[in-house]
């Protein structure tokens, strides 16, 4: 066997292993699809992965090699093991992992094309070009989904319940992450437990900085009685007094995500007095994704008018497309 063939077989078997991982991931994502069209697209993508895997196996055999059966089995097992771990992180992290896999496949397909051209193997060049095209399209699709998720627009894939909780927990805990110990960071788990923020998180052994945060949390029981919104507003105020505006701004961000803001904090004046039609029109004029998300969260938490919600969702989708196109 020539050195060229040996290198091609190595790269093709690597592509085969990665493609098996890709197929398992595509099938797992079907349950997170938000529309029938997306479910159909993901199911078809998984079948196409299987077809690409078959083509790669045949290419290895044609070069006189043996397909990496054991490696494929291990890749499938790795994909299955990865799925439970994904539940502990926001969906953006899971999508970035998917994107990294597609980039590996895309780059290796390009490498195979170069090797095949050097070995004067036009059939392999054609296969590599098909792989390159397929993975390039998937990269674009995943980035579009990631952009939608990033700006809060309706996305083709929805987070699972645990992923949504993980995202909320990460945002809520950010204000303490750089100053508190691991015990304090566990104080915020989900939006549902936000009003029970820091409880018995530390002892006399903690640093003075952590001690100040625990002191802030001492009023949690008192303010919880007047509701989540009041609790968050009070927490923001106290954090600002003790740790400064930068820390308080993170708590404010959590309030905004939950729609726990006052009408006066909205980027649209007299929002509550507007009709649904006028409110929707004003939303379409906003140019900041952050401002749109605040209005959207507030609307959903209060009047939840369908026309206003749809206008905000559509505006976010438009901004996501603009950002992805840059």
Q: What's the whole-model pTM score? A: 0.55
Whether 276 and 139 map to the same domain: the answer is no
- Classify residue 33 by its DSSP letter: B
* Cα 140 off chain centre by: 15
Q: Flag whether 185 is in a domain.
A: yes
Q: What is the largest CA-CA distance in the chain?
A: 78
Q: Which of 325, 245, 255, 324 is nearest to 290 (CA)?
A: 255
If one compares 185 and 77, the residue with the highest pLDDT of the two is: 77
Q: Which of 85, 148, 81, 83 is nearest to 313 (CA)?
A: 148
286 Ramachandran zone, left/alpha/beta (phi>0; psi -120 to 50) = beta
Q: Sorting pLDDT into bands at 50, 70 and 90, what band is 155?
A: low
Whether 198 and 69 map to the same domain: the answer is no
Q: Which of 6, 4, 125 is nearest to 66 (CA)?
A: 6
Query: What torsion do the CA atoms of 251, 254, 259, 263 make, to the nearest 10 degrees?
Result: 30
Mean pLDDT along residues 120-125: 94
pLDDT for 228 equals 56
What is the number of structural domains in the chain?
A: 3
Whether 83 and 107 map to the same domain: the answer is yes
CATH, residue 56: 1.20.1260.10
Number of Cβ within a 10 Å radius of residue 37:
10
pLDDT for 191 equals 40
Question: What domain range is 208 assigned to?
Answer: 161-260
Query: What torsion do the CA atoms of 217, 220, 223, 224 make, to the nearest 10 degrees?
Result: 150
Percent helix, strand, coil in the chain, to 5, is 80, 0, 20
In the predicted structure, residue 143 carries a pLDDT above the cut 60: yes
Whether 168 and 113 map to the same domain: the answer is no
Is residue 92 within 8 Å of residue 157, measured between CB atoms?
no
Instruction: For CA atoms 214, 215, 217, 221, give the dihedral sign.
Output: positive
Whether 37 and 140 map to the same domain: the answer is yes
Mean pLDDT along residues 250-258: 66
Whether 140 and 172 map to the same domain: the answer is no
pLDDT for 103 equals 94
* Cα 84 off chain centre by: 15
- Classify residue 226 by its DSSP letter: T
CA distance 242 to 213: 8
Domain finish residue from 130, 151, 172? 151
Q: Flag whether 76 is in a domain.
A: yes
Whether 302 and 282 map to the same domain: the answer is yes
Whether 65 and 110 map to the same domain: the answer is yes
The residues, any chain, with a CB within 8 Å of residue 185's CB and separated by 6 or more, are 173, 176, 177
pLDDT for 138 equals 92
Whether 92 and 50 map to the same domain: the answer is yes
Q: Sorting pLDDT into bands at 50, 70 and 90, what band is 101?
A: very high
Domain finish residue from 151, 184, 204? 151
Placement of tokens 């929805």 in the chain: 158
In the predicted structure, residue 235 carries a pLDDT above the cut 80: no
Mean pLDDT along residues 99-106: 93
CA distance 316 to 300: 15
pLDDT for 276 equals 92
C-alpha Rg value of the chain to the nearest Å: 25
Structure tokens at 244: 């400064």
Phi first, then psi, for residue 97 (nearest 5°) are: -65, -45
pLDDT for 301 equals 82
If one compares 68 and 253, the residue with the highest pLDDT of the two is: 68
Mean pLDDT along residues 198-212: 42
pLDDT for 64 equals 92
Mean pLDDT along residues 61-76: 87
pLDDT tens, residue by residue, 103-114: 999 999 999 999
Q: Which of 234, 224, 10, 206 is nearest to 108 (CA)?
A: 10
pLDDT tens, residue by residue, 50-68: 999 999 999 999 999 999 8
Is residue 267 within 8 Å of residue 295, measured between CB atoms?
yes
CA distance 266 to 44: 43
If one compares 225 and 34, the residue with the highest pLDDT of the two is: 34
In the predicted structure, residue 174 carries a pLDDT above the cut 60: no
Placement of tokens 């029981």 in the chain: 221
In the predicted structure, residue 322 carries a pLDDT above the cut 60: yes
pLDDT tens, residue by residue, 5-22: 899 999 999 999 999 989
Domain finish residue from 260, 288, 316? 260
Q: Flag whether 156 is in a domain.
A: no
Whether 135 and 100 map to the same domain: the answer is yes
Mean pLDDT along residues 72-93: 70
In the predicted structure, residue 128 carries a pLDDT above the cut 50: yes
Q: Flag whether 145 is in a domain.
A: yes
Whether 147 and 248 map to the same domain: the answer is no
Mean pLDDT along residues 255-275: 83
- Classify residue 204 by its DSSP letter: T
Whether 188 and 219 map to the same domain: the answer is yes
Q: Flag whether 13 is in a domain.
A: yes
The residues, any chain, with a CB within 8 Å of residue 313's CB and separated by 6 or more, are 153, 154, 296
pLDDT for 33 equals 81
Q: Sorting pLDDT into bands at 50, 70 and 90, what band is 48?
A: very high
Tell me what the pLDDT averaged over the chain comes to. Answer: 75
Q: Flag whether 32 is in a domain.
A: yes
């Amino acid at each position: 066997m020539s050195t060229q063939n040996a290198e091609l077989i190595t790269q093709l078997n690597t592509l085969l292993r990665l493609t098996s991982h890709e197929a398992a991931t595509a099938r797992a994502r079907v349950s997170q699809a938000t529309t029938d069209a997306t479910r159909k697209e993901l199911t078809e993508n998984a079948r196409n992965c299987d077809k690409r895997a078959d083509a790669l196996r045949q290419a290895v055999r044609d070069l006189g090699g043996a397909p990496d059966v054991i490696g494929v089995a291990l890749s499938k097992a790795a994909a299955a093991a990865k799925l439970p771990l994904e539940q502990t992180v926001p969906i953006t992290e899971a999508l970035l992992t998917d994107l990294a896999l597609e980039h590996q496949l895309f780059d290796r397909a390009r490498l195979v094309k170069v090797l095949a051209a050097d070995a004067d193997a036009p059939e392999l060049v054609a296969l590599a070009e098909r792989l390159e095209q397929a993975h390039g399209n998937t990269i674009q699709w995943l980035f579009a989904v990631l952009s939608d998720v990033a700006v809060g627009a309706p996305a083709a894939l929805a987070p699972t319940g645990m992923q949504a909780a993980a995202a909320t927990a990460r945002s809520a805990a950010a204000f303490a992450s750089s100053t508190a110990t691991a015990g304090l960071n566990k104080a915020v788990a989900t939006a549902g437990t936000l009003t029970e923020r820091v409880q018995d998180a530390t002892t006399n052994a903690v640093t003075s900085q952590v001690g100040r945060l625990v002191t802030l949390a001492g009023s949690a029981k008192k303010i919880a009685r007047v509701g989540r919104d009041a609790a968050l507003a009070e927490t923001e105020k106290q954090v600002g007094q003790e740790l400064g505006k930068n820390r308080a701004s993170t708590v404010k961000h959590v309030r905004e995500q939950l729609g726990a803001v006052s009408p006066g904090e909205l980027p649209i004046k007299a929002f509550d007095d507007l009709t649904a039609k006028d409110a929707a029109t004003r939303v379409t004029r906003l140019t900041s994704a952050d401002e749109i998300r605040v209005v959207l969260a507030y609307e959903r938490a209060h009047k939840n008018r369908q026309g206003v919600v749809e206008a905000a969702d559509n505006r976010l989708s438009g901004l996501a497309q603009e950002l992805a196109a840059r």
